[in-house]
């Protein structure tokens, strides 16, 4: 079942202001996988659960056309209002009903979003819309952040961890997919050629000087290639 949070206008405004784009490490992991697998010509990438577009815009330089999709009208409105690129557009729709023809998409991404989707229905759509040798990249950060700022790093991390633990009591069931570091997401990818990566990286929001070190997990899959043993890389 899909879970519908993050949809209100004020939430979208906060996203636009504070959310960080996928880190350089994560981007290079994803794009080198895609480079390895791709078959020309490359045209269309779709960023599902794109929120206010931070994750969508990083795709612009790599594809002829990029479409960000999200179930929230307010998030898509915020994405449209941000500075962007001429080849990027946005569309309101559920991840489980993507408005693309069968076999028409080269690359599908979902950053910090896939765990909210109805996984079986989403994976069916991924399989339907991807062209042969098209790829999917589903990533998220885990919840064990460490904070770094001058000489308060230890205390900041403690405060963050205490607050996180307090809030987690109220978290939706879907967050368990993140705690399990996307193992179930990896299992759900309907292709034999797939990988799961874990990496630690530092990120900063646009508005703060605090560096946040996060661990990210990324599940990658390529449609239509056969492999004996799917790899699990850590």
Ligand X SMILES: C[S@@+](CC[C@H](N)C(=O)[O-])C[C@H]1O[C@@H](n2cnc3c(N)ncnc32)[C@H](O)[C@@H]1O
**Strand ranges for the chain from DSSP E:** 44-48, 65-70, 88-92, 105-111, 130-141, 146-148, 193-203, 211-222
Q: Is 114 in the site for ligand X (CB under 6 A)?
A: no
Q: Is 19 in the site for ligand X (CB under 6 A)?
A: yes
Give a three-class secondary structure readout of 16-49: HHHCCCCCHHHHHHHHHHHHHHCCCCCCEEEEEC
Least Å distance, CB 132 to ligand X, is 25
Where does this chain touch ligand X (CB under 6 A) — which range of 24-32, 65-73, 83-91, 217-225? Answer: 65-73
At which residue do the structure tokens 């492999």 appear?
A: 227
Q: Is 129 in the site for ligand X (CB under 6 A)?
A: no
Residues in binding contact with ligand X, number by CB under 6 A: 21
- Report the residue number, 47 or 106, with the smaller CB distance to ligand X: 47
In 3D, which of 213, 53, 95, 65 has the Cα closest to residue 145?
213
Q: Is 182 in the site for ligand X (CB under 6 A)?
A: no
Q: Is 34 in the site for ligand X (CB under 6 A)?
A: no
How far is residue 227's CA from residue 87's CA, in Å, rounded to a whole number?
A: 34
Interacting residues toward ligand X by CB under 6 A: 2, 4, 6-7, 19, 49-51, 54-55, 70-72, 75, 94-95, 111-113, 116-117
């Amino acid at each position: 079942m899909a879970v519908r949070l993050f949809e209100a206008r004020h939430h979208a405004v906060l996203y636009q202001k504070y959310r960080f784009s996928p880190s350089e490490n994560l981007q290079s992991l994803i794009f080198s996988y895609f480079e390895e697998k791709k078959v020309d010509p490359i045209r269309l990438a779709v960023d599902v659960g794109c929120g206010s577009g931070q994750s969508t815009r990083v795709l612009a330089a790599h594809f002829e056309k990029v479409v960000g999709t999200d179930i929230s009208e307010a998030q898509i409105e915020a994405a449209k209002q941000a500075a962007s690129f001429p080849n990027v557009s946005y569309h309101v729709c559920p991840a489980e009903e993507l408005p693309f023809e069968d076999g028409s998409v080269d690359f599908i991404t979902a950053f910090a979003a896939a765990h909210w989707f109805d996984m079986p229905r989403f994976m069916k759509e991924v399989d339907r819309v991807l062209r042969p040798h098209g790829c999917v990249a589903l990533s998220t950060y885990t919840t064990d952040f460490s904070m770094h700022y001058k000489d308060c790093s230890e205390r900041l991390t403690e405060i963050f961890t205490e607050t996180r633990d307090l809030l987690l009591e109220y978290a939706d069931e879907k967050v368990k997919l993140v705690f399990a570091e996307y193992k179930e997401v990896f299992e759900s990818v309907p292709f034999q050629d797939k990988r799961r990566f874990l990496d630690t990286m530092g990120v900063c929001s646009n508005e703060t000087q605090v560096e946040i070190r996060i661990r990210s997990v990324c599940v990658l899959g390529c449609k239509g290639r056969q492999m004996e043993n799917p790899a699990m890389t850590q």
